[in-house]
A and B are shown apart, each in its own frame.
Chain A
Amino acid sequence: ETGVTQTPRHLVMGMTNKKSLKCEQHLGHNAMYWYKQSAKKPLELMFVYNFKEQTENNSVPSRFSPECPNSSHLFLHLHTLQPEDSALYLCASSQDETGPTNEKLFFGSGTQLSVL
């Protein structure tokens, strides 16, 4: 399989649930990102990892907890979410020699999350 793969594609959860989103990239890239895409709003950067180390946390609430066990896998752990967290969550990767430049990104198809 090639590219960036995200699972699940759709997720419905209650506000008291705990769930995780998974992302895997098969491109050999060193940087991975989580983005949030809400209706009628621009994409928002959430987290950045470079070689498994978190290099950016864009003021994201603590109910979102990222994990990057290696350069190919990225998780987003969710707990006690709010209805306004319903959105499309996109994972992306890039290959940057001097660190993540957040430029030419390869995106997965996203997880459409609904919080009831």
Chain B
Amino acid sequence: EDQVTQSPEALRLQEGESSSLNCSYTVSGLRGLFWYRQDPGKGPEFLFTLYSAGEEKEKERLKATLTKKESFLHITAPKPEDSATYLCAVSSNSGYALNFGKGTSLLVTP
């Protein structure tokens, strides 16, 4: 059965303090790995799709990377507006549904 584990569950950073969020996965045949951002009271917002190990994607202060076992979402010099819950999800050959992790709640303080 496909599994997605995100760590840490919660992360508090000072503005400008760079860090990484982790998404480890176990799937039978990865089709794609996805990162979403969810603000309180809103639905998730698509950030990135990664398809193969070694692939990297960037958007502003965010950079997503992928290996055969995990993905990292690197946040460089975060700002308070980066505070949100970040969700990781995988699609695989074993089933149709996207398997989501429980998310990492990020708080960036001024």
Contacts and interface: CB of A to CB of B under 8 A. Distances in A.
A binds B: yes
B91 A103 contact: yes
B41 A103 contact: no
Given A42-B4, A101-B91, A104-B49, A109 B98 contact: no
Interface residues of B, number: 22
B32 interface: yes
Tell me if A's interface is mostly helix, strand, loop or mixed: loop
A35 to B, nearest CB: 9
Tell me if B's interface is mostly helix, strand, loop or mixed: strand
Q: How large is the interface on A (under 10, 10 to 19, 20 to 34, 35 or more residues)?
A: 20 to 34
A26 B51 CA distance: 28
A103 B49 contact: yes
Contact of B100 (A40, A42, A109): A42
A48 B46 CA distance: 18
B96 A102 contact: yes
Interface in B74-110: 87, 89, 91, 96-103
Nearest to A104: B46
B25 interface: no
Interface string B26-55: 000000101010000111111001000000
Contact of B32 (A4, A103, A106): A103
Max chain A Cβ within 10 angstroms of own Cβ: one of B32, B41, B44, B91:
B44
Interface of A: 4, 40-43, 45, 48, 56, 58, 90-92, 101-110
